[in-house]
A and B are shown apart, each in its own frame.
Chain A
Amino acid sequence: EIVLTQSPATLSLSPGERATLYCGSSQYISSSLAWYQQKPGQAPRLLIFDASNRATGIPARFSGSGSGTDFTLTISSLEPEDFAVYYCQQRYNRPRTFGQGTKVEVK
């Protein structure tokens, strides 16, 4: 099973600041990685797929990069609605696995 490790667990930032979230894979997964955002009481929302492609309707301030085993999600300038939990997920092989999540909170 592929283990995805996200860091940091919590990121405390202010609106307007840049957020950088990391996801490391225990095995090579090419670019087969997605990022999801989840707000309290809501289902997750797909932000980025195939490591760097924004899903439909996702603002340009969200960007993804990386391949192989190391991946990054960047939010260029945090908006109030961006404070949430972010998960990475791989579909390189089964079982599909998620990282444990990074909470982006207001500083």
Chain B
Amino acid sequence: EVQVLESGGGLVQPGGSLRLSCAASGFTLSSFSMSWVRQVPGKGLEWVSGISGSGAGTYYAESVKARFTIARDDSKNTLYLQMNSLRDEDTAVYYCVGGGIDSGYFWRHWGQGTLVTVSS
């Protein structure tokens, strides 16, 4: 069974850093299109960052470019999101999402989400 499990969320002060992890099971990350998507509670969905199957391509929303870094450790089958210079507006539930060829690389698999709260 394919599963993704996020961890690493929490409370951080503005300007601080946090690293989110996403452990995948039942599939290999390199075979899927993986991204991070966030959602402010009660609001809509926003794509944050993505990584290609090969790992060579990394992509970011303008709102997080130069502050967030997506990475993958194939030996651990784990996806990461390093978040630096955090702002109040980064407060959200962060979902690790992935999809393979059976869903046209749309995101069929979602974690349960991890809450990031940026506040002083």
Spell out A's residues near B (CB within 8 Å): 34, 36, 43-46, 49-50, 53, 55-56, 87, 89, 91, 94-101
Contact = CB atoms under 8 A, between A and B. Distances in A.
A91 B35 CA distance: 12
Contact of A100 (B44, B47, B62, B103): B44
Contact of B45 (A53, A56, A89, A95): A89
A55 to B, nearest CB: 6
Interface size class of B (residues with CB under 8 A): 20 to 34
Nearest to A94: B59
Contacts of B44: 87, 98-101
Given A95-B59, A95-B62, A56 B47 contact: no
B45 A87 contact: yes
Q: Specify the main secondary structure of chain A where it touches its partner.
A: loop
Interface of B: 35, 44-47, 50, 59, 61-62, 95, 99, 102-108, 110-113
Nearest to A97: B47
B45 A91 contact: no
Contact of A46 (B46, B106, B111): B106
B112 A96 contact: no
A46 B47 CA distance: 15
Contacts of A98: 44-47
A50 B95 contact: no
Given A94-B50, A94-B59, A95-B62, A44 B104 contact: no
Contacts of B50: 94, 96
Given A98-B44, A100-B44, A46 B103 contact: yes
